[in-house]
């Protein structure tokens, strides 16, 4: 019955030993604190319900002892007894009504509050994740982050709705029944409690067994998941090596393991539940016998005996519930642990929000790299002492071989990573003194791998920026030669792209990404040219668009096209993280250095 | 519990039939397991019958107490019977659960096996359009839903039906059917409410699931595109649009909470009317006409409790069955997928291949190929003959169509009537897939290895391979010493659970795997890129012997890898731009010559692979 939950968990949880971390538990409570009035309300309601539940069997006891019994021995007139019975029946339904109304409000309040907390937790997490540095995304798989934000929070929600209040409820019911029983008859109560150690022992044993069984199921399921996921990725190899049959047999083996694990769980549960009934029946038989003896000795009313028979059933349920809550709590704590680890990751270093020093309007677009040293990891320098200046409106092209550090330069200019030494300045302002947002507003970027969001074409150009009108988006698309093919799509700018935008060709997606970069009219443009294979017609459109893109802007491009180089004012030749040569095409060509060689080989 | 119980199951005849069929699977399963379900049904029937006895006995005890001289020993006997019954019930309950829930689990295990078997037959096109996540969801969530419907669902159905009949009859016998019917007047209302509610809850539940799907889809996309989001400072609008789907998810959950919160309390409320009728009319019957005893009255309260529980389950049952049905639909969708790449049966007999061995002649005849039409042809008008034993290298930029050549040769894709690809002068589509692939030693670009032992990975073959063959292959691929240096040598586990090899080591492992196959055709799909030049030349040297006996297709970027080939083919935008030997192509001063010069330059400036690592982030 908790299976789906376990399935969900198993993906990440695998075999990690579960530690009950106090701090994580505190975290769970911390998220709920602002909502304490709602929890108090739910608690108050649940107390009322419990009282009503405890009272219901009492009504029937009164019916038996104070009316039916009395009427039978003619100590009460039939009319009076009937009248009383009618009253009691109505009170019974009245109590049921209270249960119904309060029960509904309680359940609804609790669920709603739980959902509310989770919604806010997710909002906070999403917001936090948005501000995490690139290095975090470099090392954390997408799926993991999705699990953190979506699934782990759900596990905590189950704690709020299933444990937090019900824990007190169950305790309350137990205590309530116990008190009522004590008031009714001390001896029978003690008899009933006599089996408690047995129940506790059975529950704990069962929990341990069940936990082991669940753990085994989780492990086997994780093995199945890992197997399927690995073999779907490696299907090409399996088929190329004619290994279908063997793989089928291998899978059957771990699949059978999973079957065995499931069967042993069924067995454990199949014994436990009925066993609790046996204990209950034992207690019942005991109470009936001793109770009957007392009734015969006239020290006990029959109704009280009835009451005990009913209570025994109600008394055992909370105990079983309590042991089950342990599991939910555990999952919640694990989830909270993971969530905390996300919140503990430091966001991109940022300044307080203040009036920006530079805006796209007042920025002139002068870029300086001043003795920049940069490494992704420790001291493996990717850029070494790089210095250059780009004047407003200038276009520069960066050329160099693979691994020379070209992409790093534009990553740094956008503030995706922090440099270790030196400084990068725009219009004389060190980018360290700007907020990331401020910096990135100044720079338009075209990446090598074009990412398309699911949504309309328009959405992919404006990226949901409300300040951009349809006209502006169209203008940008016209400028980048994207307008023509967009107009041929059904629905044109409203045409819905599915994930990855796979209906568009590579070249078309690049054109859209150009439009996306210039629609906000940034003063600085950085461009990482894609090298993919594009048909000559689209290639012509791209080259034409590139020229227009660079007009009236400071631009830095990682050039793979001859045309891009030809349109640049200055060329920087990068090798092994150092600038080898810089200057105009003619100057560099005359130097007969690395550029000369590269140029002749790549572009001639 | 010990050993593989599951494996015993698959030997029976119906399991084999079940594994072959693709339709009406649930029905087939239920039919084949009819006896099993019948037993389960009987177990539960017995449990329920016995469960009714306890309230009856309790009632009798109470009646006894109202007698003039109650017999305590009789009461003691009854008490013992109550206890003894519970033990019998425990046994029967256990057997019932084991048979019926076990059936669900058995169905689950059989279906998952079928599912995986189906996956093994499907072609690359399928795996390109379906994400791993979707496939996993089928195997975990959907099968689980079906399992629950067919196991728990069946258990609940039998419990509900039997218990309803038994308790109504029992009550009717002790009191009068008139009173019994009166007491159960609210029940039809209960069932009706539950039915209606069940449907609403299901609808709401599906809505919650959909919204949750949208939520995780949104996060998924945002994280995948986070670099764009950040570059364009769209964090705020992303936050807003996330909050919107998050809110929608919340709203759906609240709606769900509303019906959910109403459901259980409403059920108890309606059932409380049963007690109302019992207290008033039952109580009156006891005192006015004394048609029932006080013990009957007490027993009746227990009957009501007994009956209402399974009734409450009905709502859940409905949802379970519906969910199971929807999931089964998705599973059927997968079963209906047809693999694109199949053996053409009518041709199979025409082809006579001795001992299933190919000689290794490959011929491209005016071959054109496109993965999908909008991106245009990846290969255009390729004409080329490769003779048995020849080594031919393909070079070209990214997207020039090099890897497509290897994809076509192992027939991961078909070439539909736009030119021909011939092997040993037969159309590749006419060669049985098993034979074709059995004759090709393929080394993939992504150096994919399985998380298993090294021995398993190199001896990766449907036929048993002996240790010498594996060792020989490892030596040829220059990975032998590396393996010997590992503490567990051949038994070393690779991948997640074991050691992580470097890219170069993995590539050599993949080469060994293909070499061990001893096939007449070898395809090296850009598989030497991550080893340094020295190792490369060592591998190439030791492969020389292997190469001279086999047809080798080498796809590569590096001149050093291809320069000794009999023929070098330069592809450019899908066309053959240059063909010839190393010397011939250098003379041509075309693409090949340029690559040669660039690579010389790279060596000269010392930009090798070692330095490239930093930026590969």
Q: Calculate how close chain A gets to B15, using CA atoms only, in Å.
A: 13
Residues B162 and B196 in one domain: no
Q: Which of A124, A166, A274 to mutate to test the interface with B (most CBs of B within 10 A)?
A: A274
pLDDT score of B106: 86
Residues 6 or more apart in contact with residue B81 via CB below 8 angstroms: B53, B57
Chain B interface includes A243 (CB < 8 A)? yes
pLDDT tens for B168-211 read 887 887 777 788 888 888 888 887 887 787 778 778 877 887 88
Q: B182 — phi, psi (to 5°)? A: -60, -45
Q: Which residue on chain A is closest to B594 by alpha carbon? A: A601
pLDDT tens for A324-369 read 777 677 777 778 888 888 888 887 766 666 677 777 778 888 888 8
Sorting pLDDT into bands at 50, 70 and 90, what band is A16?
A: very low
Tell me whether residues B139 and A225 touch, CB distance under 8 A. Answer: yes
Q: Calculate how close chain A gets to B448, using CA atoms only, in Å.
A: 7
CA B574 – CA B408 distance, rounded (Å): 14
Instruction: Quote the number of domains for chain B.
Output: 3
Q: Is residue B408 part of a domain?
A: yes
| Reported ipTM exceeds the 0.85 cut | no
- Mean pLDDT computed over every residue of chain B: 78
Q: Is residue B77 part of a domain?
A: yes
Q: Which of B74, B113, B287, B511 to mutate to test the interface with A (most CBs of A within 10 A)?
A: B287
Tell me whether residues B460 and A241 touch, CB distance under 8 A. Answer: yes
- Mean pLDDT computed over every residue of chain A: 79
Measured CA angle at A356 (ends A376, A458), to 5 deg: 75
Alpha carbon distances (Å) from B584 to A602, B576, B589, B592: 21, 15, 9, 10
pLDDT score of B236: 81
Tell me whether residues A437 and B399 touch, CB distance under 8 A. Answer: no
Tell me whether residues B284 and A82 touch, CB distance under 8 A. Answer: yes
Residue A405 CA to its chain's centroid (Å): 35
Residues B436 and B511 in one domain: yes
Sorting pLDDT into bands at 50, 70 and 90, what band is A5?
A: very low
Q: Is residue B184 part of a domain?
A: no
- B279 interaction partners in chain A (CB closer than 8 Å): 59-60, 63, 85, 88-89, 92
Tell me whether residues A274 and B440 touch, CB distance under 8 A. Answer: no
CA A458 – CA A431 distance, rounded (Å): 31
- Chain A window 288-347: which residues touch B at a Cβ cutoff of 8 Å? 288-289, 292-293, 295-296, 302, 305-306, 309-310, 313
CA B234 – CA A462 distance, rounded (Å): 10
Tell me whether residues A575 and B607 touch, CB distance under 8 A. Answer: yes
- A288 interaction partners in chain B (CB closer than 8 Å): 58, 61, 75, 78-79, 82
Measured CA angle at B422 (ends B420, B427), to 5 deg: 75
Q: Is B247 exposed, middle or buried (0-12, 13-18, 19+ CB in 10 A)?
A: middle
What percentage of chain B has pLDDT greater than the value 70?
88
In B420-550, beta strands by DSSP E: 420-423, 426-427, 440-443, 521-525
Among A49, A25, A164, which residue's Cα sits nearest to residue A106? Answer: A49
A378 has pLDDT over 80: no
Q: Is residue B287 part of a domain?
A: no
Measured CA angle at B46 (ends B44, B50), to 5 deg: 115
The percent helix, strand, coil of chain B (3-state, each to 5) is 70, 10, 20
Residue B214: CB atoms within 10 A of its CB come to 16
Residues in a beta bridge with B493: B453
pLDDT score of B574: 77
- Chain A window 457-516: which residues touch B at a Cβ cutoff of 8 Å? 463-466, 499, 503-506, 516
A2 has pLDDT over 60: no
Q: Which residue has the tokens 């940034």?
A: A522
Alpha carbon distances (Å) from B391 to B347, B543, B548: 30, 11, 8
Residues B197 and B308 in one domain: no
A vs B, Cβ pairs < 8 A, gives 479
CA B584 – CA B595 distance, rounded (Å): 14
pLDDT score of A534: 60
Q: Among A69, A402, A601, whose Cβ lies nearest the Cβ of B594?
A: A601
Alpha carbon distances (Å) from B305 to A177, B272, B298, B309, B362: 18, 10, 11, 7, 79
Residues in a beta bridge with A375: A381
pLDDT score of A12: 40
Residues 6 or more apart in contact with residue B35 via CB below 8 angstroms: none
Tell me whether residues A259 and B66 touch, CB distance under 8 A. Answer: no
Q: Is residue B180 part of a domain?
A: no
More confident residue, A258 or B310: A258
More confident residue, A30 or A556: A556
Residues B595 and B458 in one domain: yes
Q: Report H helices in A414-495.
A: 436-442, 457-462, 470-479, 483-488
Mean pLDDT of B574-584: 80
What percentage of chain A has pLDDT greater than the value 70?
91
Q: Is residue B468 part of a domain?
A: yes
Residues 6 or more apart in contact with residue A536 via CB below 8 angstroms: none
B245 has pLDDT over 50: yes
Lowest mean per-residue pLDDT among A68-72, B81-85, B565-569: A68-72
CATH label of the domain that carries residue B117: 1.20.1560.10
Q: Report H helices in B122-185.
A: 124-129, 132-137, 143-148, 154-174, 177-183
Q: Is residue B284 part of a domain?
A: no
Q: Are A236 and B124 in contact (CB under 8 A)?
A: yes
Residues B456 and B527 in one domain: yes
CA B423 – CA B416 distance, rounded (Å): 16
Tell me whether residues A306 and B80 touch, CB distance under 8 A. Answer: no
Residues B60 and B149 in one domain: yes
What percentage of chain A has pLDDT greater than the value 90?
0
Residues B157 and B304 in one domain: yes
Q: Among B117, B224, B239, whose Cβ lies nearest the Cβ of A126?
A: B239
Tell me whether residues A226 and B451 touch, CB distance under 8 A. Answer: yes
For residue B64, what are its two tokens?
A: 């006894």
Q: Which of A80, A83, A89 to mutate to test the interface with B (most CBs of B within 10 A)?
A: A89
Sorting pLDDT into bands at 50, 70 and 90, what band is B610?
A: very low
pLDDT score of A187: 82
Residues B221 and B119 in one domain: no
pLDDT tens for A403-419 read 677 888 888 888 888 88
B416 has pLDDT over 70: no
Q: Report H helices in B477-606.
A: 480-485, 503-516, 533-549, 559-562, 582-588, 591-605
pLDDT score of A503: 65
Q: B383 — phi, psi (to 5°)? A: -125, 120
Residues B473 and B365 in one domain: yes
Residue B527 CA to its chain's centroid (Å): 30
Q: Is residue B354 part of a domain?
A: no
Most confident region among A20-34, B102-116, B341-355, B559-573 by mean pLDDT:
B102-116
Chain B interface includes A231 (CB < 8 A)? yes
- Chain A window 16-35: which residues touch B at a Cβ cutoff of 8 Å? none
CATH label of the domain that carries residue B505: 3.40.50.300
Q: Among B65, B247, B613, whose Cβ lies nearest the Cβ of A292?
A: B65
Residues B261 and B299 in one domain: no
In A348-408, beta strands by DSSP E: 367-375, 381-390, 395-400
Q: Are B415 and B408 in contact (CB under 8 A)?
A: yes
Q: Which of B272, B274, B527, B575 to mutate to test the interface with A (most CBs of A within 10 A)?
A: B272
Q: Which domain holds residue B246?
A: 191-278
- Rounded to 10°, the helix A165-184/A186-194 angle is 130
Tell me whether residues A92 and B276 touch, CB distance under 8 A. Answer: yes
Q: Are B327 and B209 in contact (CB under 8 A)?
A: no
CA B410 – CA A251 distance, rounded (Å): 24
Q: Among A89, A108, A281, whose Cβ lies nearest the Cβ of B280?
A: A89
Residue B191: CB atoms within 10 A of its CB come to 15
Sorting pLDDT into bands at 50, 70 and 90, what band is B165?
A: confident
pLDDT score of B3: 41
Q: Which residue on chain A is closest to B76 by alpha carbon? A: A289
Residues B22 and B152 in one domain: yes
pLDDT score of B611: 38
Residues B485 and B540 in one domain: yes
Q: Are B249 and B207 in contact (CB under 8 A)?
A: no
More confident residue, B442 or B464: B442
Q: Which residue on chain A is closest to B247 by alpha carbon? A: A119
Among A31, A119, A326, which residue's Cα sits nearest to residue A39? Answer: A31
């Amino acid at each position: 019955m908790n299976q789906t939950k376990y399935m969900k968990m198993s993906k990440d949880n695998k075999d990690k030993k579960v530690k009950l971390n106090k701090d994580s538990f505190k975290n769970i409570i911390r998220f709920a604190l602002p909502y304490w009035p709602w929890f108090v309300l739910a608690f108050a309601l649940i107390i009322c319900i419990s009282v009503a539940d405890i009272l219901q069997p009492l009504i029937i006891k009164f019916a038996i002892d104070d009316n039916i019994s009395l009427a039978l021995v003619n100590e009460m007139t039939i009319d009076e007894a009937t009248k009383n019975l009618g009253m009691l029946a109505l009170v019974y339904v009245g109590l049921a009504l209270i249960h119904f109304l309060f029960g509904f409000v309680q359940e609804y309040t609790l669920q709603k509050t739980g959902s509310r907390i989770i919604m806010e937790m997710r909002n906070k997490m999403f917001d936090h994740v948005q501000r995490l540095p690139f290095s975090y995304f470099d090392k954390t798989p997408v799926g993991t982050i999705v699990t953190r934000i979506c699934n782990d929070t759900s596990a905590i929600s189950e704690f709020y709705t299933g444990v937090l209040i019900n824990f007190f409820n169950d305790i309350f019911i137990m205590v309530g029944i116990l008190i009522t029983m004590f008031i009714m008859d001390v001896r029978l109560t003690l008899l009933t409690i006599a089996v408690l150690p047995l129940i506790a022992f059975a529950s704990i044993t069962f929990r341990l067994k069940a936990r082991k069984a669940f753990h085994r199921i989780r492990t086997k399921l994780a093995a199945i998941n890992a197997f399927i996921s690995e073999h779907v990725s490696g299907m090409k190899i399996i088929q190329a090596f004619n290994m279908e049959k063997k793989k089928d047999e291998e899978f059957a083996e771990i699949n059978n393991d999973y079957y065995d694990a499931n069967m042993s769980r069924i067995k454990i549960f199949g014994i436990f539940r009925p066993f609790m009934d046996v204990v209950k029946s034992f207690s019942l038989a005991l109470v009936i016998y001793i109770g009957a003896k007392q009734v015969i000795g006239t020290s006990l009313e029959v109704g009280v005996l009835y009451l005990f028979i009913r209570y025994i059933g109600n008394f055992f349920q909370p105990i079983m519930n309590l042991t089950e809550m342990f599991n939910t709590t555990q999952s919640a704590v694990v989830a909270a642990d993971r969530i905390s680890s996300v919140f503990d990751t430091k966001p991109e270093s940022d300044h307080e929000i203040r009036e920006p020093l530079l805006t796209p309007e007042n920025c002139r677009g002068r870029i300086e790299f001043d003795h920049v040293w940069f490494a992704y990891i420790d001291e493996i320098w990717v850029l070494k002492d790089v210095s250059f200046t780009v004047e407003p409106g200038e276009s520069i092209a960066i050329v160099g071989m693979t691994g020379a550090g070209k992409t790093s330069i534009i990553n740094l200019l956008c503030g995706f990573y922090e440099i270790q030494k030196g400084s990068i300045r725009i219009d004389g302002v060190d980018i360290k003194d700007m907020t990331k947002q401020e910096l990135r507003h100044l720079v338009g970027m075209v990446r090598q791998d074009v990412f398309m969001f699911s949504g309309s074409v328009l959405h992919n150009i404006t990226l949901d920026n409300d300040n951009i009108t349809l006209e502006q988006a169209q203008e940008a698309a016209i400028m980048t030669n994207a307008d023509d093919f967009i107009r041929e799509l059904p629905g044109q700018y409203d045409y819905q792209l599915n994930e990855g935008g796979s209906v568009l060709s590579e070249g078309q997606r690049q054109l859209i990404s150009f439009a996306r970069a210039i629609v906000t009219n940034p003063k600085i443009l950085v461009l990482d040219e894609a090298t993919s294979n594009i048909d000559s017609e689209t290639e012509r459109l791209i080259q034409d668009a590139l020229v227009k893109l660079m007009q009236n802007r400071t631009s830095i491009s990682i050039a793979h096209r001859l045309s891009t180089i030809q349109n640049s004012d200055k060329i920087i030749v990068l090798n092994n993280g150092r600038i080898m040569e810089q200057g105009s095409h003619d100057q560099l060509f005359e130097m007969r250095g690395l550029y000369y060689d590269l140029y002749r080989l790549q572009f001639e | 519990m010990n050993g593989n119980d599951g494996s015993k199951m698959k030997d029976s005849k119906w399991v084999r039939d079940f594994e072959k069929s693709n339709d009406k699977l649930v029905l087939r399963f239920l039919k084949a397991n009819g006896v099993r379900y019948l037993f389960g049904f009987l177990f539960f029937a017995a449990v329920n019958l016995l469960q009714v006895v306890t309230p009856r006995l309790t009632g009798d005890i109470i009646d006894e107490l109202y007698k003039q001289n109650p017999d305590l020993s009789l009461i003691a006997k009854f008490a013992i019977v109550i206890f003894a019954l519970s033990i019998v019930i425990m046994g029967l309950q256990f057997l019932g659960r084991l048979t019926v829930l076990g059936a669900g689990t058995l169905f689950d295990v059989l279906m998952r096996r079928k599912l995986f078997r189906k996956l093994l037959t499907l072609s690359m096109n399928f795996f390109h359009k379906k994400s791993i996540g979707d496939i996993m969801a089928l195997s975990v969530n959907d099968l689980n839903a079906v399992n629950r419907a067919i196991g728990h669902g069946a258990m609940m159905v039998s419990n509900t039906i039997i218990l309803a009949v038994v308790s109504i009859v029992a009550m009717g016998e002790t009191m009068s059917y008139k009173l019994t019917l009166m007491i159960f007047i609210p029940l039809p209302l209960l069932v009706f409410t539950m039915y209606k509610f069940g449907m609403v809850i299901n609808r709401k539940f599906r809505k919650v699931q959909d919204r949750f799907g949208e939520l995780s889809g949104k996060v998924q996309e945002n994280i995948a595109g986070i670099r764009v989001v950040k570059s364009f400072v769209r964090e705020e609008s992303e936050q807003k649009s996330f909050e919107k789907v998050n809110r929608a998810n919340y709203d759906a959950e609240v709606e769900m909470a509303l019906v959910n919160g109403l459901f259980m309390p409403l059920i108890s409320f309606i059932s409380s009317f049963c007690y109302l009728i019992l207290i008033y009319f039952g109580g009156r019957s006891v005192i006015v006409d004394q048609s029932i005893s006080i013990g009957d009255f007490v027993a009746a309260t227990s009957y009501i409790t007994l009956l209402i529980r399974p009734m409450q389950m009905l709502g859940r049952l409905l949802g379970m069955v519906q969910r199971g049905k929807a999931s089964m639909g998705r599973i059927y969708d997968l079963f209906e997928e047809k693999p694109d790449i199949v053996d053409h049966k009518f041709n199979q007999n025409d082809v006579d291949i001795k001992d299933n061995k190919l000689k290794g002649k490959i011929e491209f005849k005016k071959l054109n190929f496109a993965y999908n039409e909008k991106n245009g042809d990846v290969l255009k008008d390729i004409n080329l003959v490769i003779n048995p034993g020849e080594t031919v290298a393909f070079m070209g930029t990214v997207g020039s169509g090099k890897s497509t050549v290897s994809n076509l040769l192992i027939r991961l894709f078909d070439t539909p009537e736009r030119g021909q690809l011939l092997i040993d002068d037969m159309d590749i589509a006419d060669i049985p897939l098993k034979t074709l692939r059995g004759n090709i030693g393929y080394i993939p670009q992504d150096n994919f290895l399985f998380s298993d032992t090294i021995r398993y990975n190199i001896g990766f073959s449907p036929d048993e391979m002996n240790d010498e063959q594996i060792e020989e292959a490892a030596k040829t691929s220059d990975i032998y010493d590396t393996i010997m240096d590992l503490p567990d040598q051949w038994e070393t586990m690779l991948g997640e659970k074991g050691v992580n090899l470097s890219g170069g080591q993995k590539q050599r492992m993949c080469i060994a795997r293909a070499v061990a196959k001893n096939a007449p055709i070898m395809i090296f799909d850009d598989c030497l890129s991550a080893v340094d030049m020295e190792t490369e030349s060592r591998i190439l040297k030791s492969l020389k012997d292997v190469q001279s006996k086999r047809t080798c297709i080498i796809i590569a970027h590096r001149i050093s890898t291809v320069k000794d080939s009999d023929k070098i083919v330069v592809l450019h935008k899908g066309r053959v731009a240059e063909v010839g030997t190393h010397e011939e192509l250098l003379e041509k001063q075309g693409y090949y010559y340029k690559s040669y010069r660039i690579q010389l330059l790279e060596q000269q400036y010392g930009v090798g692979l070692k330095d490239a690592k930093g930026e590969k982030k």
